[in-house]
Amino acid sequence: MRLLKTALLLLPILLSGCFLLPREEALLAPPVMAAPEITYRTVAVKRATIEDSVRVTGYFVYAQQHSVSFKAMTGRLASIDVEYGDVIDEGTVLARLETDNLETRIKQREIYQRKAELNLERKKLLGADRYEIEIADLDLQLAQLALEEQRSNLEKSLLRSPMDGEVIYISTVYEGDFIPSYKTMFQIADRSKLYLSYQGSNLQEFRLGMDVKLIINKAEHEGEVVMTPAEFPYDAPDSQKRQILFEVPNLPTEVAKGDSGTVYLILEQNENTLIIPRSQVQHYMGRKYVYVLEDGIRVERNIETGIETATEVEVLKGLEAGELVVLR
């Protein structure tokens, strides 16, 4: 009985102690996260003119350049009598070949000729018969022919300029070197006319007779290709064979040798055509494609291209004007 009373007294205390413990808080639902909106940088497909062109710089040189060589005589070089850049007259001696004792032989022939002249005069004064006079006359003719031959050989040993002009090339030869016939020894330029010369990596773009535009002293001129590497003589210096020459009709008189000019050549051109930046065209296994924006979604699109420049590409198929190309 006593134990029962004790239990009844402790029961309210135990029941009231349950309410002293902290209550657990209700878990909150996680917030709903909205997907971030994707934005793209784009460029619109536009219609414009595109052209593939070449712009190169050239320098004015003398238009006509003549190769000069020994033609009728070979031998060892005795001297070169001009220097690079000399302005010379027609007939100026450019170089000489060794002639050994040719001058002495000429002097001897002059003496033989004079003796034959005196013998003929003597025969006539003494009243010799016509046979003796004719023989003396033939002896004189033989002496004259021998003298002319020696003088001709001496002239052949001299290389003369065929024209007025400027020495723009001298072969690298030295005294004593053997000089064969038809070896180009000099290039003489006609100073009365200028061509624009271009040497560079775009030689293959120009063809003989092609029309070009030239910018000279900020003014535009028409020009024509008059010489390509294929047209230069086989024995011309290599430096000349690696150039294009342009003729400029009505060239301003103030233009001089060494002045520069810009050559402008249009290789291809299309007007009112679709154009996009070249940097946006991607390549894979021979396929060209771009990314376009359709209803806010980036979509891959195959394209066909035409003219390409350093910065732009012509689109022939796959895009329409106004469509948005996604920038990479």
The residue with tokens 């007294």 is 9
Amino acid at 290: V
Bridge partner residues of 308 (DSSP): 313
For residue 180, the domain's CATH number is: 2.40.50.100
Q: What are the strands, taking DSSP E only, across 33-104?
A: 42-44, 46-62, 65-68, 75-80, 87-88, 93-97
For residue 227, the domain's CATH number is: 2.40.30.230
Cα separation, 26 vs 101, in Å, equals: 130
Question: What's the whole-number mean pLDDT along residues 250-279?
Answer: 92
Give yes or no: residues 79 and 218 share one domain. no
Mean pLDDT, the chain, as a whole number?
Answer: 87
Which residues, other chains included, contact 116 with Cβ-Cβ below 8 Å and sequence gap of 6+? Answer: 136, 139, 140, 142, 143, 144
Residue 278: domain span: 42-51+269-326
Tens-place pLDDT, residues 123-173: 899 888 999 999 999 999 999 999 898 888 888 889 999 999 999 889 999
Question: What's the whole-number mean pLDDT along residues 26-53?
Answer: 80
Strands 186-189 and 165-170: antiparallel
Give yes or no: residues 245 and 107 share one domain. no
Give yes or no: residues 245 and 211 share one domain. yes
Angle at 315 between CA 309 and CA 316, to 5 degrees: 125
Whole-number pLDDT of residue 89: 94
Whole-number pLDDT of residue 326: 93
Residue 21: inside a domain, yes or no? no
Residue 165: inside a domain, yes or no? yes
Residue 36: inside a domain, yes or no? no
Q: Which two tokens stand for residue 246?
A: 């342009």
Cα separation, 95 vs 9, in Å, equals: 146
Whole-number pLDDT of residue 102: 79
Residue 19: inside a domain, yes or no? no
Give yes or no: residues 120 and 215 share one domain. no
Give yes or no: residues 257 and 219 share one domain. yes
Residue 20 has pLDDT above 80, yes or no: no
pLDDT confidence tier of residue 6, bands split at 50, 70 and 90: low
Question: What's the whole-number mean pLDDT along residues 225-254?
Answer: 83
Percentages helix, strand, coil for the chain (3-state, rounded to 5) are: 25, 40, 35
CA distances from 89 to 40, 65, 165, 191, 256 (A): 74, 15, 7, 12, 20
Give yes or no: residues 175 and 213 share one domain. no
For residue 298, the domain's CATH number is: 2.40.420.20
